[in-house]
Amino acid sequence: MRVIVQRKLSGHLFGIFLCLVGFGILFVVLWKAWPSVSSSSNVLSSLWSYILTEQTDLALIGTLKLVYLSIIGGIFLFLGIFVLAFSRQILYLSGGPILLQCPYCNNHWKARRAMGWAECPHCRKFIHPQVMKTGK
Ligand SMILES: [Zn+2]
């Protein structure tokens, strides 16, 4: 149990780390582009053309086009969100019995795990149950 909790926590931290790296990279791109595009009347389109054409010097990698840098930043951000969502799924799975609520009849019932879709045992509707609490 402790191993699962630890893995879940490190996965969560890893997801946050990836998000921060992604945000950081995108912020650097914006930071570099801002002095050249902020005076323009259409900031978004000139920002876009600036990112597509300009390149930046990175001490470790060499020159890199800003568009690649923003793509890398976006990938990091998406990976981070994915890992975060995934580690939340494990959080539901690793707990004890959980309490689900039907959004139609508001009745509660216990289940082994959170379900995306389930048949309500009270009103027999096929619903998306809400998690009331996880048994810990
Ligand atoms: Zn119901």
For the residues of 20-59, what is the DSSP string, one character each?
Answer: HHHHHHHHHHHHHHHHHHTTSSSHHHHHHHHHHH-EEEET
Distance 128 CA to ligand 1 centre (A): 10
Which of the four pLDDT bands, split at 50, 70 and 90, describes residue 1?
Answer: very low
Residues, CB within 5 angstroms of ligand 1 (ion): 102, 104-105, 120, 122-123
d(CA 2, CA 77) in angstroms, rounded, equals 29
pLDDT tens track for 24-73? 999 988 888 888 888 888 888 888 888 888 877 766 667 778 888 899 99
Amino acid at position 109, single letter: W
pLDDT of residue 78: 95
Distance 135 CA to ligand 1 centre (A): 21
d(CA 63, CA 69) in angstroms, rounded, equals 10
